[in-house]
Every structure is written in structure tokens, then in C-alpha cells.
Chains A and B, each alone.
Chain A
């Protein structure tokens, strides 16, 4: 295929359009939440998820596509937040939108200056330099009282009236639209010749240099683009809280975004989005119950990912089973064979996570609760461990049975499988499983749908163009 048509085909990529479609549907989620009478917390929470997704995707442009691990990306979050915050706070006639546009510009300029020093070194040196410069941004925000307000932060930043909507729905929608646009732009960047060159540099810098690529310049541009979008994310966070503190630029924020990318999968475009969703859900769960072990938990996840799941969750899903490819087996069966193995991992993961977080949330009811009576219908009053064991046994039996049947009655069982995935979600909601358990099962659902429908989705988009992200994943595997 010619390069140009390949590039054009990338825009027809189903994953991108599915993502945008889901995002578009989420436009009405606040109405749903208000209609159902759920807490406003959910709207704020989702707003945060969008902002962090944007931040994580921007960060992953450096880490996943450029191979440049920045330990100080929160600096640009802080610079964006402070740029917009200072403009709005101290310049009376400042227009809200002008301040919002100034944030990414500020982020890009800061990245230009810092990047000028950082990109000269690679790998470990780059990591240390970004860490050091990130820390200096934090120190300036923290210590320069006259300008940034020091550790008191900037508070009471004026925002337009529509942002102050009591249900938070307006700002939610605003952030949603900006995130969609920004992620689409990043997608275009990643799939442009620029993005491909960046990946080439990641793979082999010396060779890229030999074929005439100005390596330093490309890295600097990537650094600036990541800085700009991070700055935008910072401004969005600032407006969400109507205040900005030095903590926004603190290294813990850099850690978070690093983990989001790793958890979701660094060699995939949308991996960081999944990572952001998951990590923020876990955060909401754990900090609610055990705030003091949050870092411990993050560190544990990091070590586990590095040892067990280097491709991240999305990378794991997209990984191809080349060895099981057999000409005799039909395409569908091949798919199912691959599906079943991963489904098992996912299912076991979902059960373990559900149990773990159920225990975290209700530490007293590990075994049985006090008003326990032995009836299936009062499953809710069962303790967490029996409930989880039951879930696992029933789920595993159903799954086993379904997957056995898949080979013989493909279409019927495909639909049964779909019904089963939704059923498990309904069951989890009925059992009032904690947030993180729900998040895992929700992801599991999306995964099942993705795998079972991917042929149909591909066909709907007229040809079998593999997603660019998958290409990258395969390149990485090679």
C-alpha cells in the first residue's frame, strides 16, 4: 500500500471512531446521572477521568511513541494551571478562553526551554533531567510567594458563570468536547509522518540519524507537543477546582501519569485512557478507605506490571497469538481459541480484584455478615469471600460451557457469550460491588465486545486495516 493511502486508512480506524462515538454518547451522561438521582460525585469524577486521559495520552506520545520516559511531566501540568490561573486572577479584563489557550502555549514554551537541555541526553540521563527540572518547577511554585502564592496556592480564580453550574454538567461537557478534540489531534499527530519518524527514532536512533532525520529536532518537537497538551490538561484541572496549588506540579502527579500509561499499555494509543480510567477508579476506592497506602499500592502495581504485564492491559488484549495460527482451523475458531485463553486471565483477574476491593471497602464482612441466612436470594448479605467464590465457580462453569459450544454453534453461542458478559456486569451492580471491581468488569465487557465484534467493525469500515496502535504493538513485540 502506498504511504498516503495508508495514512488515510488510519483515519478510518475503528478503534478511534469507537472511542469518539463512546465519548459522544457520554455527552448525555450528566442528564442520566441527574435523572437517576445519583451523586454529583460521578460527574466530577468523570470530568477528572477525561482530563487525566488527555494528560496520559499526551504523556504517552513521549513514552510510548518516542521512547522518552519523562519523570517530570507534571511540571507542564503545573505550568499550564499556573499560566491560566495567574492570567485569570491578576489581569482583570482577561478572557476565559484566551487564558485557556495561553496554557498550552505556556506548556510548550516551558517544554522548549527544558527540552533544549533534556533531549540532549537519552534514557537514564533524560529521566533524571526531566525529574530535576520537574522538581525545580515545583520548587518555584512552592517558594515564590510573591508570584505564585507559594504553598497557599492561587485560590478564588474567577471563571465564567456557566462553569459554576451547580450540577457540574456544563463543565463536564466542556471538558468532554475539548478532550475529544485534543485526543483526535494527538491521534493525527501520532499517525502523521512526524509520528512515524518519532517511532523510528525510538526503535533505532542511530539509523534514523543516518537516513537524514534531524533526531534532536524531532525529539524537541515531541517534547513540546506533549508539554502543550499537558499544559492544557493542567488548565482544565485548575478550572475544575477554581484554584491551583504547587501539588499540581509535584512528582506524585508524574508518577500517576506514568502508571496510567504503563497500566493501559504504552505501545497503544488508547491504552493510557484505559489506564487513567482504571487508576482513578482505584484511587477513589482506596483513598476513601486506606489513604495511607496509596503509594504502596501504586508501587505494587508498577512492580507487578513490569514483571507480569509489560505490554499493559490494552497491549495484552491486542497481542496476537501467532503460534496458534493453523490453516485447518476456521478464522472464527482461531479467534475463539485466542479469546478463551485471555478471557480466563481476565475473568480470574476480575474476580480477584473484586474480592480484594470488596475486602478493602468492608473489612468486617470477610466471611459472612451478621444477618446472614442461607438463601440464594439474599446473596447480598453473604460475606465477601463466599460471594466471590460463588461468583468464580458459577462464572467459570458458564464460561467453560459456552466456550466449549462456541466451536460447534458459533453464532448462537457468540450471542450467549455477549449476554453472559452483560449478565456479569448486572450481577456486580446488584451485589453493589465496589467501584474498582465494577471498573474491571466493565473493561472486561468492553474487551469481550471488542474481540467478538472486531471483524464486523472492520468490515463496517470497509477493509481489514489493522489499527496503527496494533502495528506499534507488533513492532514492539518484534
Chain B
């Protein structure tokens, strides 16, 4: 019996990691964009959705060739993101943050219906790549091999890659400096416009990558953007807006809480995370690892 319980515990723990890795892939882009540009991009969920649908289209065209899509789909999303940044976001960087939020919200509505027009309103699905349809046994429990060999590594690699990029490269240092003081960066001669577009492109890439990696794991449907945006908002707010480490921590907490919530109270699993968020915001308004700033944004 005790053995069975440890087993269940282990399974839920790993399942929580799956959820965390998936949500981190999407949320990291949102957090990065907010940290540098100061814009909370509602349309990040749309970028995620387009990543998934681009994979669907690519796999459909090439009759099942999945792996290149993991790279090509996010690149297509980057193009979309850059166009969006130049046309819609550039004119409003100095505007009221709420104004920016409303604008990106309008873009969510537009992107959402465009998906319906292009891919139809029905649910679509992407088959798992060959060799990853089955399960693997780890410590006596069965896990889907796609999650173990693709999703988890993708999450970890993104985490490590972002860390290295931000802390070990010159560009990353500039980006980090921009999260501290945007005006000063401009005064020091950095091309702020280019920096913003670049960071937005990275954010779009991460969002698209999240959509691409998660595409084979569930149905693709118009409206998946909104389902994910609430989740990533929760994760990012929980961890602290603009804090990259906070996002990772938030994703981990979110994943485990959701995983164990399903085990104990299946009907109201999603309520836990909201309760936790409420408690955190009352006790520590800036989020778990956020900088202590009040007012402003």
C-alpha cells in the first residue's frame, strides 16, 4: 500500500513537471517581453496558438515530417511577431500601460478569428512524431515518451539557454540592463528600437516554440490562445512580473499544484492556483521573486 502511494506520488510529481515545462515554454517569452518592453502582451497566447497551427500546416504539407516544424513554426511566428511589433506596438510604447493592454487585447480578438478563417473552427490535431507515440517505464511507472524525451528537455534547454543568453553574452547583458533602466540604455548609445524588436522577436519565438512543442499533446482549436493566456498570466504574476527565475518557479508551482489538485479534488483543481495567487498577492504583492515596485505599471 505504502509502495502504491509513493508510486502515485512519483507519477503526479513527474506529471506536474510536464505541465510546468509546457507552461514555462510559453510564459518565459511573455515575461521577457514584459521585463524589457514594459508591455504585458495579451496577444502572447495568440503567438502560441499560431505556433501550434503552423506545425499543423507544416506536418500536413510534408506528410508527417515533424522535427523541422519545431524550428520552422516558431520562426514563422517570429515574422508575425515582428510585423505586429512594428505596426502596432511601436507607436504606443510611451502610452498608458492600460492602453497597451487594451490594444494587445484587440489583437487577440483579431488573431483569434483569423485562425478560424484560415484553419476552420473545428478541432485539429497533430500526430506525435514516429518513435514517440508509446510510453516508457521509469521506476515502475509508465510515462508517455513524447513528454519525457521532447517536452521536458525542451523546457530545460529553454531555461538553461535563456539563462546563458542573459548572463553570459554581451547582448544578454544589454537586455538585462534594459529591464533595469530603459532610458539609460538609450542614453548609452544602444539602438533601443532594434533592441525592442529583437526582444519581442525572441519572445515571439519562445511563444511559438511553446505552441509547436505542445501541439502533438492536445487538440488545436481557436480559443486555445485564451485558455493559455490566463494560465501564463497566473504563472508570471505568481513568480513576479519581469523576473525570469520567478517565471520558472511560478511554472513549477503551477504544474505541481495542478497535478496534485487533479489527484485530490478533480472537480475544482483549477481553483487551487487562484487561491494561491490570491494569498501570494496579499502577502507579497510583487510576486515570489519580483522586484519590489509599487505603482508604475
Contacts and interface: CB of A to CB of B under 8 A. Distances in A.
Given A124-B101, A128-B237, A292-B116, A117 B282 contact: yes
At the interface, is chain B mostly helix, strand, loop or mixed?
helix
Given A117-B278, A124-B98, A303-B103, A143 B268 contact: yes
Interface stretch (B65-73, B75-83, B159-167, B226-234): B226-234
Contacts of A296: 109-110, 112-114, 117
A320 B97 CA distance: 27
Interface in A284-318: 292-303, 306-307
B41 to A, nearest CB: 11
Q: Which residue of A128, A262, A302 has the most chain B CB atoms within 10 A of its CB atom?
A: A128
B282 A294 contact: no
Interface in A97-141: 117, 120-125, 127-129, 131-133, 135-136, 139-140
Contact of A132 (B110, B277, B282): B277
B98 A69 contact: yes
Contacts, number: 107
B277 A295 contact: no
A295 to B, nearest CB: 4
Given A128-B237, A132-B230, A139 B270 contact: yes
Given A123-B297, A293-B117, A294-B113, A306 B281 contact: no
Contact of B112 (A123, A295, A300): A295
Contacts of B111: 299
B281 A121 contact: yes
Given A132-B234, A135-B230, A292 B110 contact: no
A293 B230 contact: no
B93 interface: no
Nearest to B88: A303
A300 B88 CA distance: 12
Contacts of A293: 113, 117
Given A122-B295, A124-B97, A132 B267 contact: no
Q: How large is the interface on A (under 10, 10 to 19, 20 to 34, 35 or more residues)?
A: 35 or more
Contacts of B233: 128, 131-132
B245 to A, nearest CB: 19
B40 A124 contact: yes
Contacts of A300: 106, 110
A69 B107 contact: no
Interface in B136-175: none
A193 B28 CA distance: 45
Given A123-B297, A125-B237, A136 B270 contact: yes
A258 B99 CA distance: 13
A294 B110 CA distance: 9
Q: How large is the interface on B (under 10, 10 to 19, 20 to 34, 35 or more residues)?
A: 35 or more
A302 B101 CA distance: 11
A262 B102 CA distance: 10
A69 B109 CA distance: 18
Nearest to A113: B278
Please give me the 8 A-B residue pairs with the lowest Cβ-Cβ distance, nearest first: A299-B109, A302-B106, A296-B113, A299-B110, A303-B106, A295-B113, A299-B106, A295-B109
Interface of B: 40, 88, 91, 97-99, 101-103, 105-114, 116-117, 121, 226, 230, 233-234, 237, 241, 267-268, 270-271, 274, 277-278, 281-282, 285, 295, 297
Interface of A: 69, 71, 117, 120-125, 127-129, 131-133, 135-136, 139-140, 143-144, 205-206, 251, 255, 258, 262, 292-303, 306-307
Given A125-B285, A299-B111, A303-B106, 19 more contacts: A69-B98, A125-B237, A131-B230, A131-B233, A132-B234, A135-B230, A136-B270, A136-B274, A144-B267, A205-B295, A292-B113, A294-B113, A296-B110, A299-B107, A302-B102, A302-B103, A303-B88, A303-B103, A306-B102
